[in-house]
Amino acid sequence: THCPGDRTLPLGFVVVTHFDLAVPQVPSTGCVAPMASGTADSVLLLDGGMGHLLKSQDIARFAPDLPVERQFAAAALANAAAPDLIVGLHEVYIAAGCHVITSNTFGCTSWSLSRAGAAERTAELAAAGAMLARRAADAAPRPVVVAGSLPPLGPSYLPPAADRSHAQLEEYATLAHAMAPAVDVLLCETMSSADEAAVAASAAAATGKPVWISWTLQDASDGEPRLRSGESLQAAWDRVKDIPCLQAILINCSSPGTVGAAVPCLRRLAPAGVRVGGYANGFRQTTGEWLEGRGKADINDAGDYDEVGDLLPGAYAAHAASWVRAGAGIVGGCCGVGPAHIESVSALLQREGGALEYNSCSAERRVPPP
């Protein structure tokens, strides 16, 4: 594919692996993906969740009247109110070994910010979040990719109304263009329906940046993987397969077992040149159980979790390794997965898969750090 405004990603890297199922190399297209050297398979390691790290830093002070479940807005406001804090958290993940950091922009939507009376600040805070991630990446001792997060525009896990697609496209375009100067890829994440992902990805592709799409699934470790909307992965893929610059399809904000069940399906759907993978949640209680107000079910192995229901870092690393064996080329963490988990995944990939090797590339930076 050819993308308007192409710019080669400013780095390349590889985790040399020896898993049973080879992960295909990503060939050079108009939008160049992270490169692998030689004949080795490459696995890109994403960061983990930012939300829980931010909550531990008392971000409620930026929006003191908001209940806990609405702290996404406070997290977004921190991009302007506490920029050094955001950069510092990105640096923690870089130190843990990730190759890709995600901008702190999940809460930079008009719906989320309206809860704090700041709906008009979407573009400002999205641009700030992207530049803070860029600042952390540029200061890193090794090449790091910046992914700009394009989240659901309303409540997560609820497919948006079909009659709002035009308004959604406009807001996604605003967010994507605000972040584009400072990011390397745009990540449409926690997409609950085929329509939601298609609209977000269309806006992302219009910037000329590489596009990654990540759906969230109904939590199940067997049966056909389905989006929160009830749609199949096949239906979701059919809506986005012709998106320009599409480089990865992923699963996130789902249980580790759900991600594991979906990776082989993604691998079958994705053509050569499109990576697959996932980044799961770290709670024993699944998202579906949380939404329905239910307790912990048996979908997650109790032995993988501590006494309060948080996933143990070593157990998470084992899950991630199983995804790689099934064909994943991108792994990382979502809600409840922190630096310790990412460090454990990095260590396991290096221990079982070889050493990290980086291919440095130079690239002109058009946006200075804030």
- Predicted confidence (pLDDT) per residue in 300-354, tens digit: 676 787 777 788 999 999 999 999 999 999 999 999 999 999 999 999 988 876 4
What pLDDT does residue 5 have?
A: 33
Asked whether residue 129 is assigned to any structural domain, the reply reads yes
Token representation of residue 298: 């048996």
Torsion sign, CA atoms 63, 169, 179, 357: positive
Range of the domain at 51: 44-283+307-357
- Has 334 been labeled as part of a binding site? yes
Could you tell me which of 41, 19, 53 has the C-alpha nearest to residue 323?
A: 19
Asked whether residue 275 is assigned to any structural domain, the reply reads yes
What pLDDT does residue 61 have?
A: 84
Residue pair 144/94 in contact by the 8 Å Cβ criterion: yes
Asked whether residue 369 is assigned to any structural domain, the reply reads no
Cα end-to-end span (Å), the chain = 33
Indicate the pTM of the whole model.
0.83
Asked whether residue 256 is assigned to any structural domain, the reply reads yes
- Say how many domains are in the chain: 1
Counting as low any pLDDT under 70, the low residues of the chain are 1-41, 67-70, 157, 160-164, 221, 284-300, 302, 353-370
Asked whether residue 33 is assigned to any structural domain, the reply reads no
- Has 361 been labeled as part of a binding site? no
The domain that holds 247 is classified in CATH as: 3.20.20.330
What pLDDT does residue 55 have?
A: 85
The span from the CA of 328 to the CA of 270, in Å, is 11
The span from the CA of 283 to the CA of 201, in Å, is 28
Asked whether residue 196 is assigned to any structural domain, the reply reads yes
Could you tell me which of 278, 275, 276, 300 has the C-alpha nearest to residue 287?
A: 300
> Exposed, middle or buried: residue 120 (CB in 10 Å: 0-12, 13-18, 19+)?
exposed
- Has 3 been labeled as part of a binding site? no
Asked whether residue 279 is assigned to any structural domain, the reply reads yes
Asked whether residue 34 is assigned to any structural domain, the reply reads no
The pairing of strands 11-15 and 356-360 is: antiparallel
3-state helix, strand, coil in the chain (%, to 5): 40, 15, 45
